[in-house]
């Protein structure tokens, strides 16, 4: 089978890297495209995934619209020669359009309820869309649900082995506690209307946390100058290992909050929107969610102080994670089966009594 994958976001590299390796071992061929955005290229290089650069895109709505024909053409130029059987990625209309032009199947992954703008464009050309079973919207007859989260494609216990060497790279002893604070750029299409943590509260959060834990700040855009000394400086492929050993993650990133919870690290997520997988993890006590109002931000900071001073936060999180994972699947194993047997796998999933146990 010939398969095309387009990477729009750094997280997408992690979603598919294990899938790619297994499928290549099984004899399938791939063609990869990637948006020019840090650290997508770094991650692809680390995992030895060759790709075609389709350009930077834009952070403005007008720029995004003008970029569409350029990206679509770039993919078409190379994919038409490759003659793919199937496209698969994270809800990317650039690939969906090309799947239509080239008469190939298109499978989309999705877990972001607020990402409706991309879905409006790709759904007419999508053959199947896969989401966690906690996804709060019904996307129609093409919509298939699996028990778990998309991050389990790379953080399932079968797929992730923590590397303690990250501690020495961070300058941390094996008994020293630390927190990671994550600020986003709010430039994604589903971030329209959100503002996140105020500048003043970013500074207060880090300064207060630093009284109890060593603090590292990770940000998509520039860190406030007052917090430069807290900037984290490790290679992007090591971030999940840093999250595993952290005492706490707090910030504006839903992806990193979910990742932390799946690694047994308490997470605090500050965002006005609700996401099914985040809400489900919150029900298990793995993530603490707060809104973006100043009052909610203060509550989030107070919760961070509570966890920072707790002696049992990590052990309690480990117990909650064990309970959460009982009925969740190894998403990579599921994806390999689903793609290798598509479209028969889609029809099989639509039958009553489909059993996910084979992917546990």
Query: What does the pLDDT look like over 2-36, one tens digit per residue?
Result: 999 999 999 999 999 999 999 999 999 999 999 99
C-alpha to C-alpha distance for 68 and 63, rounded to whole angstroms:
9
Q: Which of 186-195, 197-206, 268-277, 293-302 has the lowest mean pLDDT?
A: 186-195
Q: What average pLDDT does this structure show over 334-351?
A: 97
The string over 109-139, giving b where at least 16 C-beta atoms fall within 10 Å of a residue's C-beta and e elsewhere, is bbbbbbbeebbebbbebbbbbbbbbbbeeeb
Which residues on adjacent β-strands are paired with residue 229? none
Query: Phi and psi at residue 193, in whole multiples of 5°?
Result: 90, -5
Distances (CA, A) of 124 to 99, 108, 121, 254, 349: 11, 12, 7, 27, 21
Q: How much is the pLDDT for 187?
A: 52
Architecture of domain 2-156+328-359: 3-Layer(aba) Sandwich (3.40)
| 15 close to 153: Cβ distance less than 8 angstroms | yes
**Does the structure show a pLDDT above 50 at 255?**
yes
Cβ contacts of 106 within 8 Å, gap of 6 or more: 86, 87, 88, 95, 96, 99, 100, 122, 125, 126, 127
What tokens were used for 179?
A: 């927190």
Tell me how far CA of residue 294 lies from CA of 99, 300, 340, in angstroms.
45, 10, 49
- Pick 86 or 220 by higher pLDDT: 86
* C-beta separation of 6 from 78 below 8 A: no
Going by pLDDT thresholds of 50, 70 and 90, the confidence category of residue 222 is: confident
Q: What residue segments make up the domains of the chain, in order of their start?
A: 2-156+328-359, 165-324
Domain 165-324 class? Answer: alpha beta
Neighbours of 320 (CB within 10 A): 16
Q: Do domains 2-156+328-359 and 165-324 have the same CATH topology?
A: yes
Nearest Cα to Cα of residue 92 among 185, 17, 189, 24: 189
What's residue 200's pLDDT? Answer: 95
Which phi and psi angles does 75 have, rounded to 5°? -65, -45
Enter the pTM of the model.
0.94
């Amino acid at each position: 089978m010939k398969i095309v994958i387009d990477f729009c976001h750094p997280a997408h590299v992690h979603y598919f890297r294990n899938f790619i390796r297994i499928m290549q071992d099984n004899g399938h061929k791939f063609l990869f495209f990637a948006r020019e955005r840090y650290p997508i290229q770094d991650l692809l290089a680390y995992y030895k995934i060759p790709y075609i650069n389709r350009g930077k895109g834009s952070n403005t709505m007008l720029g995004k619209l003008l970029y569409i024909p350029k990206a679509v053409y770039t993919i078409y130029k190379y994919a038409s020669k490759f003659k793919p059987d199937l496209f698969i990625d994270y809800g990317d209309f650039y690939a969906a359009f090309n799947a239509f032009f080239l008469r190939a199947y298109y499978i989309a992954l999705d877990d972001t309820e607020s990402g409706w703008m991309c879905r409006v464009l790709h759904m007419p050309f999508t053959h199947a869309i896969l989401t966690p079973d906690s996804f709060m919207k019904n996307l129609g007859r093409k919509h298939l649900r699996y028990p778990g989260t998309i991050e389990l494609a790379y953080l399932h216990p079968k797929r992730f082995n923590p590397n303690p060497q990250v501690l020495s790279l961070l300058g941390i002893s094996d008994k020293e506690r630390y927190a990671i604070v994550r600020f986003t750029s709010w430039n994604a299409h589903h971030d329209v209307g959100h503002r996140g943590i105020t500048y003043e509260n970013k500074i207060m959060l880090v300064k207060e946390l630093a009284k109890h834990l060593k603090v590292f700040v990770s940000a998509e855009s520039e860190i406030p100058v007052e917090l430069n000394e807290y900037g984290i400086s490790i290679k992007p492929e090591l971030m999940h290992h840093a999250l595993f050993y952290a005492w706490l993650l707090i910030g504006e990133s839903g992806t990193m909050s979910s990742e932390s919870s799946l690694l047994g690290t308490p997470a605090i997520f500050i965002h006005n929107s609700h996401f099914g997988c985040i809400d489900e993890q919150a029900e298990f006590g793995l993530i603490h969610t707060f809104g973006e109002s100043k009052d909610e931000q203060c509550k989030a900071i107070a919760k961070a102080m509570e966890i920072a001073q707790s002696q049992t936060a990590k052990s309690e999180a480990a117990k909650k994670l064990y309970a959460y994972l009982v009925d969740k699947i190894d998403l990579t194993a599921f994806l390999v089966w689903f793609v290798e047997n598509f479209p028969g796998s889609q029809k099989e999933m639509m039958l009553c009594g489909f059993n996910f146990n084979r992917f546990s």
